[in-house]
Amino acid sequence: MTAPVTQIELHHHARLPRLAELLAPRRPQWTPAELRGLTSAVLAELAGPTFGLLRFASPDRWWTRLALTEEVELWLLSWLPGQGTAPHDHGGAAGAFTVLHGELAETFRYPSGPIRSVLHGTGAGVGFGSGRAHQVRNLGPGKAASVHAYSPPLVPTREYASLRDIPAEIPPLPARRPLAELRLEPVEP
């Protein structure tokens, strides 16, 4: 019996030999641990070639999608000092990120839980479940870059005025969609 083959849309400059293997189908939704493993493995693969892809932009942070399958999306982001996100969740998707370079401050909260903060340095990664809302910022004096993964892919994020505004329950995920349909979505992590 052969393993199922999935379509993979890759960034045209992402020449990473193991990327197709790393994105091999697992199940419709990857776990936070699997996503963290993916971002960590991609970080190791990208350590040299990634810096050719990276761009730093102002006033907004820069990003590019490295890969998309029906199960997972993979992004490369860069952060100048002071850049960050608004408080947001990932619409019920699980996620992960690993810091490629620099430091990123993350403030996060699960519904009805306390607000917590952690500083992620180079090589540090985190996987998180569907209910986590967070704000990620580069509070340091230098540039930062990170690799992010979400499953299922391209679930719209929800922004909040504050992490205190997270609802008690996260709505259910939308139905899984084929890659051809996902390709039509706007490109923003």
Q: Tens digit of pLDDT for each residue in 80-114?
A: 999 999 999 998 899 999 999 999 999 999 998 99
Q: Which two tokens stand for residue 4?
A: 């199922």
| Structure confidence at residue 7 (pLDDT) | 72
| Structure confidence at residue 71 (pLDDT) | 92
Residue type, 189: P
At residue 43 the predicted structure's pLDDT band, cuts being 50, 70 and 90, is confident
Q: Which of 7, 131, 156 is nearest to 69 (CA)?
A: 7
Contact (CB, 8 A) for 170 and 92: yes
Contact (CB, 8 A) for 97 and 105: no
Query: Which residues fall within 8 angstroms of residue 146, CB to CB, at 6 or more apart?
Result: 76, 77, 79, 97, 98, 99, 100, 104
| Structure confidence at residue 1 (pLDDT) | 31
| Structure confidence at residue 4 (pLDDT) | 42
Percent of the chain whose pLDDT exceeds 90: 54
| Structure confidence at residue 75 (pLDDT) | 94
pLDDT higher than threshold 60 for residue 49:
no
Strand ranges (E), 102-185: 104-109, 116-120, 125-128, 133-137, 144-151, 158-159
- Output DSSP code: residue 161: S
Residues 144-172 have a mean pLDDT of: 89
- Homologous superfamily of the 26-163 domain (CATH): Jelly Rolls (2.60.120.10)
Average pLDDT over the chain reads 85
